Structure 1
Amino acid sequence: MTTDDRVRPATPDDIPTAVRTLGRAFSDYPYTRHVVAADDHAERVRRFQELFLTRVGMVYGRVWVGDGGLAVAAWTTPDQDPTPGLTEVAPSIGELAGDRAEVFEATEKLVEPYRPTEPVWYLATVGVDPDAQGRGLGSAVLRPGIEAAARAGYPIYLETATDRNVSLYERLGFKVTAEVTVPDGGPHIWCMRKDVS
């Protein structure tokens, strides 16, 4: 087991910094650029991440932070079904998507067939504040979840929309299981998995 003293489980006190980090990390991400309205985009993305973190990740999953919230990784796990939280936030997610709500739904339908149907740890969101990148925080904040999933005997699944992220995840032992190109100028999405070794 690896330990990094920069990383620890998130607490409610970490939420403001973690939300800021995720908002900044995803403000220009290809997926969110495509499925979240352009008007007031950065604030919409921040609120999207806040909903997921506070209503799903912290309640039904596991969340780790690095450097006091400058890196964040939020997971759902087979230990607790996140469906109630996802159902609760769905209307707000639709509102935040704005005039891209139909595109959001269509993109989700394109990727859905490639998602696992068996129990997995799902990396729901991970981000490093742009000012803190390049210090290994991304890998560091992912390791506790990867190790916890392995100890529990579950595979891990994630999706990413940048080839740079694909390289990071491959270094951590993930393999690409499917690729989806979203039409009408949408992002290329890689589905990735790490099986129990």
Structure 2
Amino acid sequence: MTSSTGTARLITEADVPTAVDTLARAFADYPYTRYVIDADNHLERIRRYQELCLTRIAMVYGKVWIVVGGRAVAAWSTPDRDPTAAFAEMEAELGELIGDRSEAAAASEAAIEPYRPREPVWMLNTVAVAPEHQGRGLGTAVLRPGIEEAARAGYPAFLETSSEANVRFYQHLGFEVTADVTLADNGLHTWCMRREPSQESQWRR
């Protein structure tokens, strides 16, 4: 769980502002969020969206690891608790953040939903490394604890990404593509990826 610049640990309340800033900047131009969240005041919408997902979902119903005080963050949902009620409570605010992209967001969800696991899994909700800290092994360091804990508990790990470069990165961590879903005529794709708990313990190089 170490990198050249630190050790992954579970997030605390004091780490939240830095972690939210990392997530907001990392997702400011991410293809999927650009497509499904209103362009007006986009960065602040992303910041609030990530804050809600981090503090109301992952920190309550899952687990979150950070490195370098939150300059790398990985937030997981686990099978142990059901966040459905929390999503219902946030529905109105999430709708406001999505804004004029509501039809695109709904269509994207409908397209991806058939490829999501029906059995219990560890779901990677969000992961980011601050731009100025990329290329230093922090992504692997912050993801490793969740992947390994899921495997120890006997659960697959599952994620979705809309970046082809990310696909290659996750393949090095033992994930395999289970679906390639076209979301829009502009070429936007989302790849569903899964790592079985029986995956070899050695990390791919």
Instruction: Tell me what 1:13 maps to.
Output: 14
SS in 1 for 2:136: coil
Instruction: Tell me what 1:36 maps to.
Output: 37
Distance 1:90 1:126 in 2: 22
SS in 2 for 1:185: coil
SS in 1 for 2:50: helix
After superposition, where does 1:81-92 map in structure 2 within 5 Å? 81-92=82-93
Task: Quote the sequence identity (%).
Answer: 61
The letter for the 1-side match of 2:197 is V
Distance 1:39 1:157 in 2: 31
Instruction: Tell me what 1:95 maps to.
Output: 96
Gaps of 5+ in 1: none
Q: How many pairs were matched up?
A: 196
SS in 1 for 2:169: helix
Distance 2:123 2:88 in 1: 17
Instruction: Tell me what 1:143 maps to.
Output: 144
Distance 2:156 2:171 in 1: 15
After superposition, where does 1:125-136 map in structure 2 within 5 Å? 125-136=126-137
Provide Cα deviations, 1:4-33, integer angstroms capped at 9, x if missing partner.
542110001110000000000000000001
Instruction: Tell me what 1:163 maps to.
Output: 164
Deviation for aligned residue 1:3: 4.6
Q: TM-score, normalised by structure 1?
A: 0.96
Deviation for aligned residue 1:185: 2.2
Q: Which moved more, 1:122-131 or 1:178-187?
A: 178-187
Instruction: Tell me what 1:113 maps to.
Output: 114
The letter for the 2-side match of 1:115 is R
Q: TM-score, normalised by structure 2?
A: 0.93
Deviation for aligned residue 1:186: 5.6
| Alpha-carbon contact 1:162-1:189 (below 8 Å) kept | yes
Distance 1:32 1:129 in 2: 17
Distance 2:92 2:169 in 1: 33
Instruction: Tell me what 1:195 maps to.
Output: 196
Gaps of 5+ in 2: 199-205
Distance 1:174 1:85 in 2: 29
Deviation for aligned residue 1:70: 0.2
Instruction: Tell me what 2:202 maps to.
Output: none
